[in-house]
Structure 1
Amino acid sequence: MTAVDDSLRSTSIALPGIFSPVAAPRSDVAVPRTVVTPRSTPTLERRRRWEKMYRTRLAITDVVIVFAVTALTTVGQLQLLAPDLLAADPAILARVPLVSALTWLIVLGLFHTRSADIIGSGSTEYKRVAHSTGLAFGILAIAFVLFQWQGIRVQLLFALPVGLVALLAGRWAWRKWLLGQRRFGNYISRALVVGHREDVEYVIDTLQRNHLAGYMVVGATLEDDDNDAAAVTVGGITYDNVGTANTVAKVANVLSADTIIVASKPDNDPDYIKQLSWQLEGTAAEMVLSSRLADVAGPRISLRQVEGLPLIRVAIPTFAGGQHVLKRALDILVAGFAILMLSPLLPLLAILIKTDSRGPVFFRQERIGRDGTIFRMVKFRSMGTDAEARLADLQAENQGSGLLFKMKSDPRVTRVGRVLRKYSLDELPQFWNVLVGDMSVVGPRPPLPKEVSEYDGTVFRRLYIKPGITGLWQVSGRSDLSWDESVGLDLRYVENWSVMNDLMIMWRTAKVMIQPSGAY
């Protein structure tokens, strides 16, 4: 019997917001009752304090960046480009940056870019910052035209892109700081998971694999029909099974949990969620309803209210249209820029490959692209020219899984090839495949024809969009992933990709190239 269980048995449960008697009841006298508004517990106050501190840091950073960018833009324009305008209207030196900065900051606030529900979320936070910045400058452009003010043009050309990059960099820096704090248990939500055993274990396992998501599980409450064990063990970690579905608020208070994750609710109680939310008033900051909608992510999920009936709307994936046109435009832009910037490096790598071993500089191989089309993928050669002939002799030493062949110390790899593979430099020529339309910068791993011939019905979905130079598989472990994990990441990307997520994967890829993991 745990201390928490003893506490639950020895202490009556006082549910916040419930009518409470103020005098001893008598059979012949009506009992006067009063409504007691729920008061915040120390746990909830602690949660709100660290959220407020973090939002304050974000706000200060935003204010400094916005005022600095708008002021420097105006001063530079007037001093260097339009000194006559400054002489004719000295007030413009203060008016333009002040109006621009205040409008920008107000829109950032209205878009809830510092809201507690997106703290540390990454793509959602960045999207809100980008959207609010675009709207702010749209409003400014209209206002300056209507009032015939001068100075907005340079703000649009300089302050908007520079300021947006600076804001995103600031958010990224604070997010890295936050994730670092969470490794030590700070700025994190203490979570109690409620539901049937199987659902509770699924939620805990998912949170363990996403340890920087911001939730630290401190206990579990199993439904009555699963309440035959004293603990829940997931990933080698044991969590106490405390209380029942009807004592969640009390358990949360005892465990100092500020988040309740409902993995599943009692089958015979349709009002359970509503009643539980009432009980948690003043005790917890949020109640999270877990859904096992497999591999469905942010852009496809929205909440719709229909006459008091909350509906979770899941959009069906589409594989054509405006978003895919935008993705292709991004591919052309990134690939063209990469080839231009890498042009001094590529000849040097070619010379090193040629000097190290006999054979061609480039390795071309047939791969399967979108809709099953065959294309020739080009890479820098990292193996000897007899690599394919020696493959059969090495099959017994295969360290890969599923349909993949991998060896950490593959004898076919050349000396220069090992360096190329470690830092993904052998894949740089694939930007040409992107430019001509065979591949995308971000997408599923490009499979071999032999692999595709052994696909089952679901794995074929990887071929619904173009394969990528990089993807979730590239930034999540690469060769260290199992076959099932690699396929799962690819399928998740195919159904849930977005331009913002593509940009984040590109950024993470750059970091992986500098600090490689799972590359061999």
Structure 2
Amino acid sequence: MPGGYMWHARTTETNSTGSAAGSPAASTRSRTKAGWYPVVALTVDALGVGVPVALTLAVERQPNAYTGALVAALSWVTVRALRRRYTRRDLGESRGSLPVLHDWLILLGVLAVLRAAADLRHPALLCLAVLLPAPVLTLACSKLTWRHLVAARRKAQVVTRVLLLGEPTAAGDVAEHLAGRTEHPYVVVGVVAIGEGPVRTGAPVAARLGVLPPESADGDTCHVLTAARELEADVVLVAAGPGMAGERLRRLSWGLHDAGTELALAPGLVECAVKRLETTSAAGLALLRVAPPLRSGVQPVLKSVMDRAGAALGLLLLSPVFLAIGAAVRLGSQGPVFYRQVRVGQGRAPFVMWKFRTMFLDADARKAELERSNEHDGLMFKMRRDPRVTRVGRLLRRTSLDELPQLINVLLGSMSLVGPRPPLPEEVARYGDVELRRLAVRPGMTGLWQISGRSDLSWDETVELDLHYVDNWSFTSDVDVMARTFRAVVDGRGAY
């Protein structure tokens, strides 16, 4: 979505709520998270541990059932509070399972120590079983608040109003990137441009600063503060560039902070996970260290072990499913059960990818005549109602069961359980340097593209998600993606 449209839409919705919306009190309420977030989070966490522990220990006639339940509930809430899960800044911002899993493992350790210190005799497996509902309920609550928060931000509520400061090109790039998504809180309400030139955003240019710093430090500060107050900006975001750096930036930060206005810096890094960033200093100069992507060490070894073991186990357990699907494919249309296609893997190495056949035998020959019906904006070919797909094939695609034979590729090492989408050779032939970076890792059966909408994504969004995975991969992120894949498969959104 273009940056100008995004700004216009959000601003219109904010101002169309009536005369009360223009009052300071209404403006503050619309930019504040709902008050029920911490109440619900605390209640769900406490009851999610306390109730199962109390009921189970009471039914099992274990001693100190209610005391143990109270201690367990307080321990869970304390762990979550110490890890800042109830702060206004964090509530509703994450729907990932890994933070909850980390907290739950800490809880197990805390309760194990307390159990040993109190010399309790509750069976260890029973204690573990009654604590299992806690992370599930916490994740459900987290997803609820995340959905509510995203819906509110689509209506320009619970947002952080940003005054963007920078040279026209840099400011336009940052504004367009922020406007491309709605799940984050930042909305550009105005721009203070450094120098002349058009700014690619629908937000108004509130002021312009000279390319050279003014003689007085108050020159920049006065213009920026005036614009921030007129636009009710919560933060001044500086886009990286030589026009605002060094001494000039330092003096501006003094003026903004003395006036109680928050300052943030956009260094120009795109899709770089926070976990790879480290702040440090040298000779009084603030530095932002960016850790290189993981390509060697323990985590890649763990990924390979998980891939091979998971594929072998999956093929063994799913063998009856394979037989049933194979029979359905053969009965549904003439042709082989499996469809083999050449794809391009890590390092541009070709490999044969296995799938259950979902199309008629002449599908490849008919692709050329359907090119004009391509519903995808990039290099991939996608149609919602592709006439080449069989009746059984539609069901297999809807449920992603057609991709199960790719476990063979994972077992052989040409694919991974999690990774970028495996491209076709003709797609790779048209890749640029940016798209080729997707081939730095093994392609996957699932990935960020699948849990984010699959075929409903634009080409640019698909590339962006794949590059984010390539540069920010970790073993724990793979686990999180696989956990979220199950819901994506059940949902079926974008699968056709």
Q: TM-score, normalised by structure 1?
A: 0.76
Matches within 5 A, 1:36-185: 46=28, 50-51=32-33, 53-54=34-35, 57-80=37-60, 83=61, 86=63, 92-122=64-94, 126-151=97-122, 153-154=124-125, 157-185=128-156
Alignment of 1:417-496 (within 5 A): 417-435=393-411, 437-452=413-428, 455=431, 459-479=435-455, 481=457, 483=459, 485-496=461-472
Q: Is residue 412 of structure 1 aligned with residue 384 of structure 2?
A: no
Q: Secondary structure at the match of 2:240?
A: coil
CA distance in structure 1 between the partners assigned to 2:129 and 2:284 by the alignment = 47
- CA shift, 1:410, in A, is 4.2
Partner Cα separation in structure 1 for residue 488 and residue 291 of structure 2: 32
Alpha-carbon distance, 1:154 to partner: 4.8
Whichever of the two has the greater Rg, that structure is 1
Report the alpha carbon displacement of residue 171 of structure 1 after superposing the two structures with TM. 1.1
Partner of residue 204 from structure 1, selected from 175, 182, 188: 175
CA contact (8 A) 1:381 1:417 kept: yes
- Deviation at 1:458? 5.0
Aligned partners of 2:38 and 2:91 also within 8 Å? no
Contact map agreement 1:366 1:449 (CA 8 A) in 2: yes
- The answer to whether residue 207 in structure 2 is matched with residue 243 in structure 1 is yes
Please state how far the C-alpha of 1:205 moved relative to its aligned partner.
0.8
| 1:358 alignment partner, one of 334, 343, 359 | 334
Residue identity opposite 1:46 in structure 2: T
1:458 and 1:512 map into 2 onto residues whose CA distance is 27
* TM-aligned CA deviation for residue 444 of structure 1: 0.9
Q: Contact between 2:164 and 2:237, CA under 8 Å: does it hold in 1?
A: yes
Paired residue total: 462
Contact 1:141 1:152 in 2 (8 A): no
- Worse overlay, 169-178 or 398-407: 398-407
Q: Relative to 1, partners in 2 of residues 1:104 and 1:411: Cα closer, same or farther, differing over 3 Å?
A: closer
Following the alignment from structure 2 to structure 1, what is the Cα–Cα distance between the partners of residues 437 and 86? 37
Is the CA contact (8 Å cut-off) linking 1:252 and 1:283 kept in structure 2? no
Bigger shift: residues 60-69 or 334-343: 334-343
**1:385 and 2:387 correspond:** no
Contact 1:302–1:313 under 8 Å retained in 2: yes
Q: 1:138 to 1:285 in 2, by over 3 A?
A: farther
Q: Check whether the contact 1:67–1:97 (CA below 8 A) recurs between aligned residues.
A: no
Q: Find the partner of 1:316 among 292, 303, 328.
A: 292
CA contact (8 A) 2:330 2:337 kept: yes
Distance 1:423 1:288, change over 3 A: farther
1:340-382, Cα deviation, whole Å (9 max, x unpaired): 8866765554344223311112212233333455443221211
Q: 1:312 to 1:150 in 2, by over 3 A?
A: farther
Segments of structure 1 that go 5 or more residues without pairing to the other structure are: 1-40, 87-91
User: Mind listing any 5+ residue stretches in structure 2 that lack a counterpart?
Assistant: 1-22, 209-219
Deviation (angstroms), 1:455: 4.9
Partner of 1:3: none
Distance 1:215 1:268 in 2: 21
- Counterpart secondary structure, 1:166: helix
Indicate the SS of the match to 2:132: helix
Report the equivalent of 1:215. 186
Kindly provide the CA deviation profile for residues 136-163 of structure 1, in whole angstroms up to 9, marking residues without a partner as x: 3323322332442344835751244321
Structure 2 vs 1, CA of residues 393 and 180 (structure 1 numbering), >3 Å: closer, same or farther?
closer
Partner in structure 2 of residue 17 of structure 1: none
Cα distance between partner residues in 1 of 2:161 and 2:146: 19
SS in 1 for 2:71: helix
Q: CA deviation at 1:190?
A: 1.7
Contact 1:74/1:97 (<8 A) preserved: yes
Q: 2 CA distance for matches of 1:507 and 1:147? A: 36
Deviations along 1:400-436, one digit per CA (max 9) or x if unpaired, are 5665444555443323334433443322332443355
CA RMSD of aligned residues (A): 3.7
Which residue identity is paired with 2:470? V
Q: Distance in 2 between matches of 1:172 and 1:268?
A: 40
Deviation at 1:501, TM superposition (A): 3.8
Q: Match for 1:242: what amino acid?
A: A
Q: C-alpha deviations, 1:199-245, integer Å up to 9, x for none?
A: 2111111111111211222211112x13x66xx453xxx21111354
Contact between 1:353 and 1:381, CA under 8 Å: does it hold in 2? yes
Return the TM-score normalized by structure 2.
0.79
Question: 1: CA distance between counterparts of 2:463 and 2:130?
Answer: 42
Change (3 A) 1:413 1:299: same
Instruction: Please list the CA deviations of residues 385-407 of structure 1 after superposition, one character each: whole Å capped at 9, or x if unmatched.
Output: 23334445656766656654445
Would the aligned equivalents of 2:49 and 2:72 in 1 still touch at CA under 8 Å?
Answer: no
* Aligned residues of 1:263 and 1:290 also touching (Cα < 8 A): yes
Helix, strand or coil: the match of 1:304?
strand
Note closer, same or farther for the CA distance 1:327–1:160 as it changes in structure 2 (3 Å cut).
Answer: farther
Change in CA separation of 1:133 and 1:323 when aligned onto 2, cut-off 3 Å: same
Q: Is the 8 Å Cα contact of residues 77 and 154 (structure 1) preserved in structure 2? A: no
CA distance in 2, matches of 1:456, 1:255: 41
Q: Distance in 2 between matches of 1:308 and 1:413?
A: 63
CA contact (8 A) 2:253 2:263 kept: yes
Instruction: Give the direction of change, closer, same or farther, for the CA distance of 1:68–1:300 in structure 2 (3 Å limit).
Output: closer
Q: Deviations over 1:40-87 (max 9, x none)?
A: x96899379834x55x6235423443344244225413532xx3x52x
- Tell me if structure 2 keeps the 8 A contact 1:62–1:167: no
8 A contact 2:98–2:476 mirrored in 1: yes
